[in-house]
Amino acid sequence: MKIPFKTADILIPQEKYLEKWSVVACDQYTSEPAYWERVANNVGEAPSSFKMIFPEIYLENDGKEERIKNINDSMASYLDGDVFNKYGNALIYVKRTVNSGKIRKGIIGAVDLEAYNYNKGSKSLIRATEGTVLERIPPRVQVRINAPAEMPHIMLLIDDYKKTVIESIDETKLKKVYDFNLMENGGHIEGYLIENPEEIMAALTSLADGLDPENPLLFAVGDGNHSLATAKECWERKKQNLSDSEKETHPARYALTEIVNIHDEALEFEPIHRIVFDVDSEKLLKEFSEYYEISETEGIQKVVCVLNGENKDLYIKNPKSNLTVGSLQIFLDEYIKKNGGKIDYIHGENVVSDLSAKENSIGFLLPAMDKSDLFKTVILDGALPRKTFSMGEANEKRFYLEVRAI
């Protein structure tokens, strides 16, 4: 089987820029403006990926067009300037040490967007693991469609329980291309150049050959599904004006990503909690208790309601989804459609407690999903409810680092 993953011409900032270059994924800390203000102050005038992204906390602010123009201008300036070291036809082996001390390993390369389909029920080699919110794609397309470069915060998972692909790499035989501390309590990261990737590609091919030919899921999107969906949409638009031969090699056909083994011991699935703002909290809680049969002592699915600084266990006796997060999301979507309000998706329990203490706000804490169930669930049931799980806390998410011209 031909695998939809290949080497790429990868750009890495020079060593003197690294610590101010690398910032966390744009979809993190969306209710914490102070975080992004600290990042901006830290970066200052230095070259930085911060100037190449659109943090989602600012998506609803005025001046969107000017910000996008500045992003594209920064990309062009960095590509033309003396910012990057270029590694042609390569893969990058990544070792990320998170604050717990665990080391998460991955490989940076390019995936073929022709093999990706984010629609539920897809049987493509690359698939979404959660529902794709189509309304979230257009603002991202505005940023990417004319961008001269891309950076990944996308992480694709492989189900390699024998650990034949990533874990077989011996970094002592590789050239180290970066080694530094990430800002804002992000831990430490090392990168190694894989100049001869034949063994990696052979191991991936062997993994693909062992899949069910009727339903072959090779790469499951663990993080950055909407960014990958955006790359797909931009490619679908661009290829309309290309010849067949141009379609085969055009750089926009591919997206730079990191692949990670779901069986990596450092990879932990964290629940993504919910905060609802701008609502009558008591009314929402009352309607939740009317929407489902709710008990404070027993039931099929448990959520923890956080209101006015207090936690209350609530058990759903008649859920509408196999997953707790699905049952809660079904209710919240219907409630907000009818009554208004805004949902935010939060990774840490302490943040939920702090934010739910605000007036007209209510929080819900959710249980973690067993990561070993992911591939089986996606194959059997299709995409999970959106924001079902997170791979680690917010400061453990992928930081922007590698760049590819598109």
Q: Please calculate the CA angle 269-272-275 and round it to the nearest 5 degrees.
A: 170
Tokens 């790469």 locate to 219
> What residue has token string 């830290």?
42
- What is the rounded CA–CA span in Å between residue 225 and residue 254? 15
* pLDDT at 59 > cutoff 90: no
Residues 215 and 197 sit within 8 Å (Cβ to Cβ): no
Residue with tokens 């939920």: 352
- Give the pLDDT score at 87: 97
Q: Which residues contact 199 (CB under 8 A, 6 or more apart)?
A: 168
Q: Which residue from 362, 390, 389 is spatially nearest to 304, judged by alpha carbons? A: 362
Distance CA 336, CA 333 (A): 5
What is the pLDDT averaged over residues 140-145? Answer: 92
164 token code pair: 């034949």
Per-residue pLDDT at 386 exceeds 80: no
Structure confidence at residue 312 (pLDDT): 95
What φ, ψ does residue 30 adopt, rounded to 5°?
-75, -5
The pLDDT of residue 1 is: 83
- pLDDT band for position 322 (50/70/90)? confident
Alpha-carbon distance values, 128 to 40, 74, 115, 235, 288 (Å): 32, 30, 12, 17, 29
For 167-226, strand residue ranges (E) read: 175-181, 188-194, 219-223
Backbone angles phi, psi at 54, to 5 degrees: -120, 90
Beta carbons of 362 and 305 less than 8 angstroms apart: yes
Question: Which residues are CB-neighbours of 215 under 8 A, at least 6 positions away?
Answer: 123, 379
Whole-number pLDDT of residue 313: 97
**Considering the entire predicted model, what is its pTM?**
0.83
pLDDT at position 281 is: 96
- Looking at every residue in the chain, the average pLDDT score rounds to 93
Domain positions in the chain are 5-269+392-405, 273-365
Task: Give the tokens for residue 370.
Answer: 């067993």
- Helix (H/G/I), strand (E/B), else coil: 397: coil
Amino acid at 33: P
- pLDDT tens, position by position, 154-213: 999 999 999 999 999 999 999 999 999 999 999 999 999 998 899 999 999 999 999 999
Q: 3-class DSSP state for residue 390?
A: strand
d(CA 78, CA 26): 19
Residue 381 has pLDDT above 80, yes or no: no
pLDDT for 328 equals 96
Tens of pLDDT, residues 323-368: 899 899 999 999 999 999 999 998 889 999 999 999 999 999 999 8
Instruction: Determine the average pLDDT of the residues in 214-224.
Output: 94
What is the DSSP-derived secondary structure letter of residue 279? S
Residue 378 clears pLDDT 80, i.e. is over it: yes
pLDDT confidence tier of residue 60, bands split at 50, 70 and 90: confident
Kindly report, residue by residue over 262-293, the tens digit of the pLDDT: 999 999 888 899 999 999 999 999 999 999 99
Is residue 127 classed as helix, strand or coil in its secondary structure? Answer: strand
Cα 325 to Cα 295: distance, rounded to the nearest angstrom = 17
Q: Do 301 and 322 touch, CB atoms closer than 8 A?
A: no
